[in-house]
Structure 1
């Protein structure tokens, strides 16, 4: 568990009343929304997921959800994070966003990160000047990009982002 309010996952209710967990910011997560109320295994190209009662074993058998019904997201038998199911407003996340953007302990303050799922179910990530290709089975190949031209080409070819110059992390007060 990290600092309070440092990550926002969305519970989305469809017009037919179905509830879904959509989490586009967690990194290596499900490719598709997870059925919020389903406690059994949910198969996804990124692995086998379960949304279980917080504190339960990874199979979702034991545990107490507590007063507000907190949940855990489990991927391939390993807990990924806990979901507080209490209603929140966006303003609750301001302090966490500030910490992530200013603290020297936050990887977001040390390097810009751009990442996406690839067509084959892998992932491509550009962190600073390091381009990492993750294959669908989890194998990784990292390449250090030496020139600005290589970085700009990676943004363009891998993410469809056309930039005039390599972006840099803004420091506090900049």
Structure 2
């Protein structure tokens, strides 16, 4: 009888503490499946219906492929629309410094975020964070930035291309 009461008390205490532990423990560097939402990436434009696209419209957070690619689609043929520079992508008007903000939908540990312009890495950020301010290095006119979120616990990364009009 005593052991049943103790077991019940232990279970009740565990159930009562679990929500508190969840709130008190710090978040890991894990974030999520994701994409750049500001300025609007190509997949964000697809999801918003700004540009007519295929399957990516329904899952903008899923542009995932092996690390090291330089592709808007992450090498995923289902999302080939993102690699098509002839589509009417809207270019966001920006200055030399741009803050890229990510939307996340599922947890992953982060190794780093890389930003590329013309195939050259222009910025890298370690750890977590949903926004990164990047200096574009003096370029002007229409530009395409490739944002890459490198996952720590898989061999993959998430890819997003953002079209910009730099002043």
Q: TM-score, normalised by structure 2?
A: 0.24
The structure number with the bigger radius of gyration is 2
Give the structure with the larger helix fraction.
Answer: 2
Give the structure with the larger strand fraction.
Answer: 2
